[in-house]
Amino acid sequence: MSYIKWHPSFHLIIRNMSKDIHLALIQHAYESDRDQTVQKVSKHIRSAAADGAQIICLQELFSTHYFCSSIEQSNFSLAEPIPGPTTDIMSRLASELSVVLLVPIFEKESVGLYYNSMAVIDADGALLGKYRKMHIPEDPGFHEKFYFTPGDLGYKVFKTAFCNIGTLICWDQWFPEAARLTALKGADLIVYPTAIGTLHEERDADKKEFKDAWKTIQRSHAIANGCYVASVNRVGTEEAASFWGGSFVAGPFGKLLAEGGEEEDVIHARLDLSLLEPQRQTWPFFRDRRVDSYGSIQKRSD
Q: What is the CATH number of the domain that holds 276?
A: 3.60.110.10
- Beta strand 189-194 with 228-233: parallel, antiparallel or unpaired? parallel
In a domain, 294, yes or no: no
In a domain, 159, yes or no: yes
- Stated length of the chain: 302
CA–CA distance, 110 with 135 (Å, rounded to integer): 20
In a domain, 291, yes or no: no
In a domain, 293, yes or no: no
Q: Measuring CA to CA, how many Å separate 87 from each of 71, 194, 249? A: 26, 19, 25
Percentage of the residues of the chain whose pLDDT score is greater than 90: 91
Q: Quick check: 194 pLDDT over 90?
A: yes
Q: What is the residue range of 272's domain?
A: 20-285
Q: Rounded to 5 degrees, what are φ and ψ at 120?
A: -115, 120
Q: Quick check: 285 pLDDT over 80?
A: yes
In a domain, 76, yes or no: yes
pLDDT at position 301 = 86
pLDDT at position 302 = 77
Beta strand residue intervals within the chain, DSSP E? 20-27, 55-58, 100-110, 113-121, 127-132, 156-159, 164-167, 189-194, 197-199, 228-233, 235-237, 241-244, 248-250, 256-259, 265-272
In a domain, 148, yes or no: yes
3-class state of residue 154 by DSSP? coil
CA–CA distance, 175 with 164 (Å, rounded to integer): 21
Contact, 60 vs 103, CB < 8 A? Answer: no
149-158 pLDDT per residue, tens: 999 999 999 9
Q: Quick check: 273 pLDDT over 50?
A: yes
In a domain, 93, yes or no: yes
CA–CA distance, 187 with 105 (Å, rounded to integer): 22
Output the CA angle 263-251-207, nearest 5 degrees: 40
Q: Quick check: 164 pLDDT over 80?
A: yes
Catalytic site residues? 60, 133, 170
Domain tally for the chain? 1
In a domain, 167, yes or no: yes
